[in-house]
Structure 1
Amino acid sequence: MLKRLLKKAGRPAGPRRKPAATLTPRPVTLTELQQLIPIRNLPEEELRAFSLNQTTETYGAGSILFETGTSEDTVLYLLNGTVTMILGENQEYEVVAGSAKSRFPLSHGDAHKATAVAKSDVEVLRVSARVMHKNLVLDDDRLSRPENWDVPAWVRKTTLYQAFCQYLTDEETKLPMLPDIAVRLRRAIDRDDIGIAEAARIVQLDASVAARLIQVANSPLYLAARPVTNCLEAVNRLGLKATCNLVMSLCLKDLFQCRDPRLRKRMQRIWRDGLHLSALTYVLAKDNRWPDPEEALLAGLTCEIGAIPFLVFVSDFPRDHYTEEDLDRTLKAVLGPVGHYLLKTWGFADELTQVPLLAEAWHYDSGPELTLSDLVMLSKLHHCMEQGQRDQVPMISAIPAGQKLRDGRLSPEYSLKVLHEAKTEIQETLALLR
């Protein structure tokens, strides 16, 4: 199976590629494969078999590995040397072998948005672009069973993970429930026969949510000429769908609770990170003319909702049965499938339930149109760049979601410029959700 995905491609010919003076093709090693994202998630036996019969490719300084506008069904990983990625006039960056950035492919294998030029003699590994999607399961029936989750073997062997899976599949498991007002409002709107007045009456059942909704409607985000003074006016200004998404968002904070003080701090940190991510997603959605930015805001908030049932379970699990490393790795592994499972249980639409699964599936291509998952993924990437963690994520020009931005400007400098210009709007969004 792996041979079909990690395909042994011939060395491309052409005058734009030069022979390397200091490097020669060689077999790739298992250790090298285990460093590459997302290849490292494949079973070890498949990686080991591939490493036995696949050789690297070498090119000399000045070689053009691929050009802007061309398409391929393979991707390249840089194993030795330095490559300059040219995005456009006065826009370029370097990828150095051995750096965190080189763990990602130089592009996602579709139409290239950058030109890759070897700055030195380079050694690359060529694999099929289809490997980017292998083991990414979106089927609801399969995801309902933990044995089908894409979880590292190391995590599967831990007592903590095994006990949590048993807990999750137990018929008596009690998952967190949405507040009643959020459930009632969504059900009423799903009937398609609810009016503004009825929606306002439902919101008014929770005075604190109603007050915050009025605050949202009066915020600078909606550029209103005059302030609203009651819930009916707020719902009328926002619209039914936006009201529903905002009420959901306002209610989620109460779910991030845990009895264990140590785990409660972790839960609160996840909530704060989710707040910032949701604000970024909201701003990116508006910047890219997404029809319902409030839906994007909700998607950002629910991205790591899977932490709630897991940390609640851990709070009652004996401390001497797991280490902090077990906790960290297991949490990271279950966030996606458990978040999907929980949102599905709550009855959310399919596009929203897929967000936890795809939020860090950097090379997943959802199609030609921008999706909620794309927006959240791009927000996560922007957040890392904002915090000076560029080496922990691929370049925006190397992922499919980046190609769908409205203006197509993909440089890191432009991304940070967007964040700087939207700083006020991000802070206003955060203030409304805290």
Structure 2
Amino acid sequence: MKLNDLRQFEQFSQLSDEQLIMLNASMKSKRCQKAGEIILPLGFQSDIEFFLLQGSISLTAEDGQKQIIKADSQEARLSIARLRPCLYEVRSESAAQLLVISGALLTNEVRASIEALNESNHFSKPAEHFHKCLKSALEQGKFTLPSLPSVALKVREVLEQDEPELEDLERILNKDPSMTAKLVAAANSSFYRRNTSCKTCAEAIMRLGLDTTSQLVMLFSLRQLFKAKHPWVKQRMTQTWSQSVSVAAIAQLLTLHHSHLSGDQALLLGLVHNLGELAILLFIDQETEVDPEEMEKILEELMPEAGAMLLNYWNFDPELTESVRQQNNWQADSSSDTATLADLVKVARLHSRIGTEDQYRFPRLDEVPAFRKLAVQGLTPEFSLILVEDAADQLAETRAMFGL
């Protein structure tokens, strides 16, 4: 099989020519001569992956829901019905051809490729060029990173005192009615709600706690820092905010089933994980010409480094900053036996991409060490998906809280 034919599939696209040539000997072809032939029965257990080369197939779940996948479509970039035992009955919808390979063998090669790339810490040529331009602009004062809003700085100053006073915090926040309203809404959200509703700033602070109040004030303030004039940049910033809120809501939800992790910290890391994109977009907004397709690749590649740079500039916790820096290192495995917040947010990021057009650019849940650590504590792919589906109301609530 030609290497270019293989590179249409996401897992293979991450491999070198040498890896593809070595794997070629282990690949087999499965042909269906007509519609209705069973390719994978419901409950199939064997560690084999199928990739659709030609024709179309159907995936039918146990409850009867059916999905059609055609060759060369976005859905066909991924292997078919990967989870084991198989959650679907897979049949041909027409004459079809599929590529068959050992799942373990392919996963090992993908992991080796990603680890090699991470160890080299090498940017692509376009990203490297853009990175140099950004650093040069910062060093020459042609571009300045945004400073934290004054209300967030004042709240931080209060909390840095040996014995912070709730009254001081309340006095600062009451000068900003919009901020107070957002904090009250947060305190009354499903994650923090008690038997009674909060009505005042003081009640909200008491329920949320000083640290959480400080974090939320900072997060609510961030959006005003990133304003753009260029239409594409403005639209892309909105997408970035929306993505961060989705990741944050899912991460916070998952902590309910992993009590050793803080829901507040998960929310914070989820909301700042892609701040690097916003910093880069702010820089791009100064440019007169933008190539959206090229910038999408650069944004994803440079997001972790730019995010860590911004959080360092704002004197964020070094551990949180390092989590942001390592977020695209999907195969990273911390020394901790239990899942960390960084693991949780990686899993939340993957969840947030399920069903989207760019899902194929990200690894599967069961391919990353972060998910396997959560799985040790009882989080299966099926249960994980159910949790997120049940979180629609909480996600909508979090979106509203952050003005989306």
Q: TM-score, normalised by structure 2?
A: 0.73
Mapped pair 1:156 → 2:156: no
Match of 1:329 among 294, 297, 300: 297
Rounded to whole Å, the distance in 2 between the matches of 1:181 and 1:38 is: 49
Q: Offset at 1:299? A: 1.3
Q: Which amino acid aligns with 1:133?
A: E
Contact 2:350 2:362 in 1 (8 A): yes
Residue of structure 2 in register with 1:95 after alignment: 49
After superposition, residues 84-123 of structure 1 pair within 5 angstroms as 95-97=49-51, 100-101=77-78, 122=101
Q: Offset at 1:326? A: 2.8
After superposition, residues 89-238 of structure 1 pair within 5 angstroms as 95-97=49-51, 100-101=77-78, 122=101, 124=105, 127=109, 132-136=114-118, 150-157=122-129, 162-171=132-141, 173-238=143-208
Q: Offset at 1:372? A: 2.3
Match of 1:240 among 193, 210, 217: 210
Residue of structure 1 in register with 2:287 after alignment: 317
Rounded to whole Å, the distance in 2 between the matches of 1:298 and 1:409 is: 22
Structure 2 SS opposite 1:354: helix
RMSD: 3.9
Contact 1:189 1:240 in 2 (8 A): yes
Q: Offset at 1:393? A: 3.1
How many residue pairs match? The answer is: 353
Rounded to whole Å, the distance in 1 between the matches of 2:136 and 2:47 is: 47
Contact 2:347 2:371 in 1 (8 A): yes
Residue of structure 2 in register with 1:298 after alignment: 268
After superposition, residues 410-421 of structure 1 pair within 5 angstroms as 410-411=380-381, 413-421=382-390
Match of 1:339 among 277, 301, 307: 307
Flag the 1:410–1:388 CA change in 2: closer, same or farther, 3 A.
farther
Contact 1:81 1:96 in 2 (8 A): no
Rounded to whole Å, the distance in 2 between the matches of 1:212 and 1:239 is: 15
Mapped pair 1:270 → 2:273: no
Flag the 1:423–1:390 CA change in 2: closer, same or farther, 3 A.
same
Rounded to whole Å, the distance in 2 between the matches of 1:30 and 1:131 is: 18
Rounded to whole Å, the distance in 2 between the matches of 1:328 and 1:398 is: 24
Structure 1 SS opposite 2:49: strand
Rounded to whole Å, the distance in 1 between the matches of 2:356 and 2:385 is: 10
Q: Deviations over 1:397-416 (max 9, x none)?
A: 221111222643423x3332
Q: Offset at 1:305? A: 0.9
Contact 1:256 1:268 in 2 (8 A): no
After superposition, residues 343-362 of structure 1 pair within 5 angstroms as 343-362=311-330
Contact 1:267 1:308 in 2 (8 A): yes
Q: Which amino acid aligns with 1:408?
A: G
Contact 1:101 1:394 in 2 (8 A): no
Q: Which amino acid aligns with 1:325?
A: E
Unaligned residue ranges in structure 2 (runs of 5+): 31-39, 53-75, 87-97
Q: Offset at 1:184? A: 2.5
Q: Deviations over 1:72-113 (max 9, x none)?
A: xxxxxxx5568xxx9xx887886224763469xx99xxxxx9
Contact 2:10 2:77 in 1 (8 A): no
Q: Deviations over 1:288-341 (max 9, x none)?
A: 22542122112111121112232222222232xx53333222222221111111
Q: Offset at 1:345? A: 0.8
Q: Deviations over 1:234-284 (max 9, x none)?
A: 111111121122112211221231122332122122212222222122212
Contact 1:263 1:311 in 2 (8 A): yes
Q: Offset at 1:343? A: 0.8
After superposition, residues 269-288 of structure 1 pair within 5 angstroms as 269-288=239-258
Flag the 1:201–1:326 CA change in 2: closer, same or farther, 3 A.
same
Structure 2 SS opposite 1:370: coil
Q: Offset at 1:155? A: 3.5
Mapped pair 1:404 → 2:373: yes
Flag the 1:365–1:33 CA change in 2: closer, same or farther, 3 A.
farther
Q: Offset at 1:39? A: 9.0
Structure 2 SS opposite 1:184: helix
Q: Which amino acid aligns with 2:330?
A: W
Structure 1 SS opposite 2:191: helix
Residue of structure 1 in register with 2:278 after alignment: 308
Rounded to whole Å, the distance in 1 between the matches of 2:19 and 2:352 is: 35
Flag the 1:29–1:194 CA change in 2: closer, same or farther, 3 A.
same
Match of 2:231 among 261, 269, 282: 261
Q: Offset at 1:351? A: 2.6
Rounded to whole Å, the distance in 2 between the matches of 1:36 and 1:136 is: 18
Rounded to whole Å, the distance in 2 between the matches of 1:418 and 1:36 is: 26
